[in-house]
Amino acid sequence: MPKITPNLWFDTQGKEAAEFYVSVFPNSRIKDITYFGEAGPREAGMVLTVDFLLDGQEYTAINGGPDFTFDESISLLINCADQDEIDYYWEKLSEGGEEGPCGWLKDKYGLSWQVAPVVMMELLTGSDQERGQRAMKAMLGMKKIDIAALLAAADRA
């Protein structure tokens, strides 16, 4: 099966964004950088693409120009094991960005992220549908997800 690599479109901040992302996620690194040449369409020597890994997942940042920007129609999900992970990623990725509802945020580059606990999916797919719905109702009132509050809401009868 062919490998799928998400490409993220930036105006000129592709390298800066990639460096930021690899600083946030463990086991991450910049793999390769390409530059515009004399053929253009942008200034020769300007960064064209940055290939990078975020904990094993490949991405490419492309400096395609100001024509397109990110919106919430695509987001990157971080499945967090515990509250410490949620707190860490929420703090790092929301800095300079924008907090949204239900564990969603936009980073300083406008890319949307879902910072969600693994336990939320377990609650929603578990056999006790009412418990899952109580957790869902609690989550809908949160910005950053609070696992203890989710579980407390789920367990209220």
| Average pLDDT, integer, range 102-111 | 98
Domain that holds residue 30: 7-63
Q: What is the model's pTM?
A: 0.93
CA dist 27 and 117 (Å) reads 20
- Is residue 69 assigned to a domain? no
Q: Are 44 and 38 in contact (CB under 8 A)?
A: yes
CA dist 154 and 98 (Å) reads 28
Instruction: Taking the CA atoms of 33, 36, 42 and 43 in sequence, report the sign of the dihedral they define.
Output: positive
- Residue 103 is predicted with a pLDDT of 97
- Is residue 11 assigned to a domain? yes
pLDDT band at 40 (very low <50, low <70, confident <90, very high): confident
> With b meaning 16 or more CB within 10 Å and e meaning fewer, what string describes 33-70?
eeebeeeeeeeeeebbbbbbbbeeeebbbebbeeeeeb
Q: Report which DSSP code applies to 52.
A: E
Share of the chain above pLDDT 90, in %: 96
- Is residue 70 assigned to a domain? no
| Average pLDDT, integer, range 11-35 | 98
- What total of structural domains would you count in the chain? 2
pLDDT band at 54 (very low <50, low <70, confident <90, very high): very high
Q: Do residues 22 and 91 both lie within one domain?
A: no
Give pLDDT tens digits for 113-145.
999 999 999 999 999 999 999 999 999 999 999
- Is residue 102 assigned to a domain? yes
| Average pLDDT, integer, range 6-23 | 98
Q: Do residues 151 and 84 both lie within one domain?
A: yes
| Average pLDDT, integer, range 3-23 | 97
Nearest to 4 by CA among 46, 58, 50, 43: 58
Mean pLDDT of the chain: 96
- Is residue 42 assigned to a domain? yes
CA dist 9 and 65 (Å) reads 8
Q: Do residues 89 and 145 both lie within one domain?
A: yes
- Residue 157 is predicted with a pLDDT of 67
Q: Do residues 121 and 49 both lie within one domain?
A: no
Tokens matching residue 88 = 């860490």
- Is residue 1 assigned to a domain? no
Question: Among 16, 36, 63, which residue terminates a domain?
Answer: 63
